[in-house]
Structure 1
């Protein structure tokens, strides 16, 4: 099973951590469950206004004007790869605004296997399924064009996929996570307002936490005590240089997780993951759903107040 393959990597990461070298996880995904959370809050600060919340809806139908035409979707050829936990196929376009911190307020969930294209009316390069390793997938929407919608691509860094209408539904996204590499802080925003902010540990030189927009893919229980006994978030991002991570962690996603102590907070010591305190992780697990956008920047122009 996929989970067994990943947890065998966790065993290597545990041995690495036991000898004093920070380890990062190779994550598998399980079903969501809410944990209890902290009640303290930081003073609010604005990032950008978010759209009002809404119940899940079917995909919007936008009728083109007489002057507009919808680029036709080429039929998907047989044998297209399905995007899963392994690195996504090459050829998808770059995210046009990878470090934009404007909240992404709409998520898209496939209701069946759908073809993902490199442009509106372009080439189908892969299939997006409703689940990855049994977990329902929600991808933040980054752009709309007539008859087409662009989403952040899972299992890739700073890449998007274009989808024609049909075979998916949408849901409102209220939350956003922003990580600042220079100040080693993670800030949680809800409806465009800062809710909490915490210090974090980030990737060491050569294995830096990847810059750009990604999202919460899913969660898994901690495989070893080194993770502080708190569930782990797997992100849609992967290491920028997969060959730089330890052999036992090849194929891993970037994770957001706690640690057995807080001694390394504010330092670059991980293999690319984002470490927070155990109380912070518990609150995020209880409040933040899969599909929540997470963007890594060097530094915000206007830092939020610290918790």
Structure 2
């Protein structure tokens, strides 16, 4: 294993949270080192069109936005390392991080911005049409399906919330759920059933998406089959968009037994005097989708990246002044 490289601040992750943290940290002369991980740019790379990023209008692609953030971070002399951190040790200072190239790094502070991964159906056709009619965020992409037919796959809070949201935009909304009963909050189910009664949402229970259909222009439909052995059904629905809403998995596996977490999301300690991104260990901060199971937006991830950098700056100043 290579010799240890010491840094003042290490940022793990290169989505909106990581890059924003790097920009703010670099401007504060913290000389941040950012590890891009295996998915540089995070989930936004799979988003073909972004219309709601302030200042970028009428549209910008996810790839272009993340490339701009990458260049912005480098402009302020952020050191960007194309490696993945695969192991950490946070129980003593300096903190130890080991990359997939077997290099050892230590740091006085760390910002965790490793994001989350949207759960998928595991269909080859889902992967084929990702970003071309298949999406994991209705709020991000729903506008592009105004007066069109769409489908949402899932049965929890997120799926119903997306179905309700899309019912005000799309011409026809199909909710596909593999079980008989929904797993969402009762108030959301009541709202959904009202929409079903009004025929603005069509509910397909005991059903799964067997295949996503399409051509060179993108998604054109889905093939549905039954999960109930007593019901043999196999039919197609014409839709232009398919939204997968079966949950997200925070990319926090390497932090197990290192910092406090709940349901795989990193727990942060909010205080009235700041440090809104501090984890259970002083000097370790977290931002973006690893701490957020509610909003899950690029701009909220970016804003928490800013907060994490400011919190890290305050922590490092305090440590420096105490020496």
The structure with the greater share of residues assigned to helix is: 2
Q: Bigger radius of gyration, 1 or 2?
A: 2
Larger relative contact order, structure 1 or 2 (CA cutoff 8 Å, min sep 6): 1
Normalising to structure 1: TM-score of the pair?
0.21
Normalising to structure 2: TM-score of the pair?
0.21
